[in-house]
Amino acid sequence: MPRDIPIGNGSFLVTFDGDYCIRDIYYPCIGKENHTDGHKFRFGIWTDNKFAWINMDWNLKLDYVSETLLTDVTASHNSLGVGLHCNDLIDYGENIYIKKIILKNNHKRKREIRIFFHHDYHILESETGDTAYYDPDERAMIHYKGDRYFLMSGMRENRQGLDQYATGIKEFHGLEGTWKDAEDGRLEGAPISQGSVDSTLSFSVEVPPDGEKTVYYWICAGENYAEVSRLNKMISGHGIEYFIKRTENYWRAWLNKEGFNLSQLPENIVTLYKKSLLILKTNIDSNGAIIAGNDSDVQHFARDTYSYMWPRDGALVAYALDMAGYHGITRKFFDFCLDIISKGKESVGYFLHKYNPNGSLGSSWHPWVNNGEKNLPIQEDGTGLILWALWFHFDKFRDIEFISKQYENLVIRCGDFLASYRDGKTGLPLPSYDLWEEKWGIHTFTVSAVYAGLKAAENFTGFFGNTKRSAMYKRAAEEVKAAMDTYLYSKEHNRFLKTIIPSRNGSFETDLTIDASIYAPFYFGVFEPNDEKTVNTMNSIKKRLWIKTDVGGIARYEGDKYHRATEDIHNVPGNPWFICTLWLAQWYIAKAKNIDELKEALPILEWVASRALPSGVLAEQVHPHTNQPLSVSPLTWSHAAFVTTVLEYVNKLEGIETCPACGMPVFSHERLRR
């Protein structure tokens, strides 16, 4: 089930599913230590001896308050005669999750309404060895294990504390947990439980006829009792609305700090652009790791998650954030990469498959040997694209003090590796895994990324006056481009090839699958967007990979089996992916010479905006017939690609439309700000 409305502050992340249940609680790193392990935290209402957990049986609308990471959720239940208006947030500066609930009594008589909150913690991603207990000093429920503490409390009618509470055993000897105890409106469990435990607490209010009452609930996260106690007391001291207001103000200021002129874009595109920036922020750890996705449901597919930093994804997200002006975030990302490349096997100058949010090596299925021979299990595009993104960052912001430590320890190491990790005869990069982590060989996308990385290294060394190395990188990039033209462009098929695989006799096995990733030569600067080879390639992608259903969009490649929704491969070569569809828009933008050509990209941007969830969340892919999210949701890369494409459109528009009197760009946000 997709995560509709994630909220976070860089060290504390909470996600909700489509039933408006908390499903993931990450702390103290974004993406590492999911203290629910994907289990539901239920939220329910009792009144007039009737009970209902909030789920899809309610009339639910999940969205965000405009330009913030505060949720805007409405829910109503006809048979209960109750309505809810909820705001959820995580304070931008403290590890406090807050839910504000306005309870609406839709009957014309006064009624008692009880709100129940159920907690199914799996602290440190395990149900073993937890403790749950009621703490009378804090008037709160506390769950802890080791150095992870979570305190739950709340307030109604200016009274802090709980009305009812219960702890109990779950997932053991068939016991379901205290949430079952709540369904009669009363909690009668133990004040403390240990092992595989859960808890439920409740608040009770008298709501006047056709009236409203406000209830607050919060979770404080910390590494010890003293920390969660401090946060609980801060709420008492400042008042809960203080944290709500300051967080709302923070996100509006954060989002609008650059003041880009987006007035020439349709409103739905502008709205999704802003939501995408905010959703991107929820998937970035305060220590720099850019996480691919934090939807724990995906683990049911392969018993692993997307909660890792892939160097390629991270580089492309950093590029989007730098375009949008968030260089403070990207500096931390590049420092995160510098720390990785400075130790272990990576110190040779390459990044491995993926990394945990704390910088340790992530899980992998790429072997170090193949047929008894050493096999370097890398996706070389990740190394190339980090250099490419780093040069864009430096060229835009010119932060010389920051880049000086990156130059010697990351740029030179990675540049030397990219220049040397090539076939002496062909000039091509040696084989590695493709960007989809599936195929071993020499790939158009990877070779394009290597070229971009070498050009970045050339630019860096030229800037720092290292002419000998700069010439070496330039020569290597030229050889890679020439080899790409010779070996990866097929005159017979009139397009770039997805992959070639070298054989022992010196020839190549050719993969003729049309893959959306062969867009890369123009995007990473190997060939011009109007080059015949590029045009032929992009037309092949558009012709063969566009989904021939009402949903539309571009598939990854022909015959894609990942989450395959239909066997009608002719009309649906694969599920539509947001990033792949946006690559087509990026080509339209890059090749445009006038307004009419540029506007070819708008229908794709509107396609993306119309297929996002109402909250703005973009999945990895969608069902080709129903448009339902598939795989991880939200996917960080999807949102980054949308942000990038919007800004590329705006930048191109500024270059095309100039004032006839002064020659300045008509829509330049720089001129508007001056």
Task: Look at residue 177 in the predicted model and tell me its pLDDT.
Answer: 85
Confidence category of residue 171, pLDDT binned at 50, 70, 90 = confident
Range of 186-190, 297-301, 572-576 with top mean pLDDT: 572-576
- Based on the fold, state whether residues 384 and 413 are members of the same structural domain: yes
- Based on the fold, state whether residues 329 and 345 are members of the same structural domain: yes
Pairwise CA distance, residues 331 & 337, whole Å: 10
Number of H helices, E strands in the chain: 19, 31
CATH code of the domain in which 369 resides: 1.50.10.10
In a domain, 291, yes or no: no
For the segment 342-359, the average pLDDT, to the nearest whole number, is 95
In a domain, 297, yes or no: no
Pairwise CA distance, residues 196 & 218, whole Å: 23
For the segment 430-458, the average pLDDT, to the nearest whole number, is 97
Asked, as a colleague might, if the bond just before 431 is cis with ω within 30 of 0, I would say: no
Pairwise CA distance, residues 98 & 41, whole Å: 14
Task: Look at residue 371 in the predicted model and tell me its pLDDT.
Answer: 83
Q: Which domain holds residue 398?
A: 310-544
Identify the domain boundary among 498, 524, 544: 544
Long-range contacts of the stretch 368-376 (C-beta < 8 A, 24+)? 370/440, 375/440, 376/350, 376/430, 376/432
- Sign of the C-alpha dihedral computed for residues 158, 161, 165 and 168 taken in this order: positive
In a domain, 262, yes or no: yes
- Based on the fold, state whether residues 28 and 53 are members of the same structural domain: yes
- Based on the fold, state whether residues 334 and 437 are members of the same structural domain: yes
In a domain, 568, yes or no: yes
In a domain, 292, yes or no: no
Evaluate whether 603 touches 259 at the Cβ level (below 8 Å).
Answer: no
Helix residue ranges per DSSP H, 342-407: 380-397, 400-406
What confidence tens digit (pLDDT) does each residue in 594-639 have? Answer: 999 999 999 999 999 999 999 999 999 999 999 999 999 999 999 9
- Based on the fold, state whether residues 204 and 271 are members of the same structural domain: no
Strand segments (E) across 437-496: 440-443, 489-490, 495-496
For the segment 242-262, the average pLDDT, to the nearest whole number, is 95
For the segment 186-207, the average pLDDT, to the nearest whole number, is 95
User: Bridge-partner residues for 25, per DSSP?
Assistant: 14
Phi, psi for residue 352 in degrees, rounded to 5: -85, -170
- Based on the fold, state whether residues 497 and 626 are members of the same structural domain: no
Task: Look at residue 304 in the predicted model and tell me its pLDDT.
Answer: 79
Evaluate whether 115 touches 83 at the Cβ level (below 8 Å).
Answer: no
What is the residue type of 216?
Answer: Y
- Based on the fold, state whether residues 273 and 362 are members of the same structural domain: no
Evaluate whether 490 touches 469 at the Cβ level (below 8 Å).
Answer: no
For the segment 156-169, the average pLDDT, to the nearest whole number, is 95
Phi, psi for residue 335 in degrees, rounded to 5: -65, -40
- Based on the fold, state whether residues 499 and 434 are members of the same structural domain: yes
Identify the domain boundary among 212, 239, 255: 255
For the segment 167-184, the average pLDDT, to the nearest whole number, is 84
What does the buried/exposed string (b/e) look like for 334-368 if buried means 16 or more CB atoms within 10 Å of the residue's CB? Answer: bbbbbbbbeeeebeebbbbbbbbbebeebeeebee
Evaluate whether 45 touches 20 at the Cβ level (below 8 Å).
Answer: no
- Based on the fold, state whether residues 125 and 242 are members of the same structural domain: yes
Task: Look at residue 670 in the predicted model and tell me its pLDDT.
Answer: 46
- Based on the fold, state whether residues 331 and 439 are members of the same structural domain: yes
Pairwise CA distance, residues 307 & 385, whole Å: 20
What confidence tens digit (pLDDT) does each residue in 115-145 have? Answer: 999 999 999 999 899 999 999 999 999 999 9
What confidence tens digit (pLDDT) does each residue in 75-100 have? Answer: 999 999 999 999 999 999 999 999 99
Confidence category of residue 370, pLDDT binned at 50, 70, 90 = confident
CATH code of the domain in which 235 resides: 2.70.98.10
DSSP conformational letter for 390: H
What confidence tens digit (pLDDT) does each residue in 20-66 have? Answer: 999 999 999 999 999 999 999 999 999 999 999 999 889 999 999 99
The closest alpha carbon to 396, from 457, 329, 319, belongs to 319
In a domain, 295, yes or no: no
Task: Look at residue 572 in the predicted model and tell me its pLDDT.
Answer: 96
Cβ-count burial of 188 within 10 angstroms (0-12 exposed, 13-18 middle, 19+ buried)? exposed
Q: Which helix (H) or strand (E) holds 555?
A: strand 554-555
Phi, psi for residue 622 in degrees, rounded to 5: -130, 160
Mean pLDDT of the chain: 94
- Based on the fold, state whether residues 419 and 327 are members of the same structural domain: yes
- Based on the fold, state whether residues 597 and 529 are members of the same structural domain: no
Identify the domain boundary among 512, 544, 576: 544
For the segment 239-256, the average pLDDT, to the nearest whole number, is 97
- Model-level pTM? 0.95
The percent of residues in the chain predicted with pLDDT above 90, rounded, is 89
| Chain centroid to CA 654 | 29
What confidence tens digit (pLDDT) does each residue in 371-425 have? Answer: 888 999 999 999 999 999 999 999 999 999 999 999 999 999 999 999 999 999 9
What confidence tens digit (pLDDT) does each residue in 298-341 have? Answer: 755 556 789 999 999 999 999 999 999 999 999 999 999 999 99
Confidence category of residue 666, pLDDT binned at 50, 70, 90 = low
In a domain, 465, yes or no: yes
Confidence category of residue 674, pLDDT binned at 50, 70, 90 = very low
548 has a pLDDT exceeding 50: yes
In a domain, 298, yes or no: no
Task: Look at residue 671 in the predicted model and tell me its pLDDT.
Answer: 45
Evaluate whether 428 touches 454 at the Cβ level (below 8 Å).
Answer: no
669 has a pLDDT exceeding 60: no
Q: How many domains does the chain have?
A: 3
Cβ-count burial of 315 within 10 angstroms (0-12 exposed, 13-18 middle, 19+ buried)? buried
Q: Which helix (H) or strand (E) holds 147?
A: none
Phi, psi for residue 535 in degrees, rounded to 5: -60, -45
Give the Å distances, CA to CA, from 549 to 538, 568, 578.
20, 11, 16
Task: Look at residue 188 in the predicted model and tell me its pLDDT.
Answer: 87
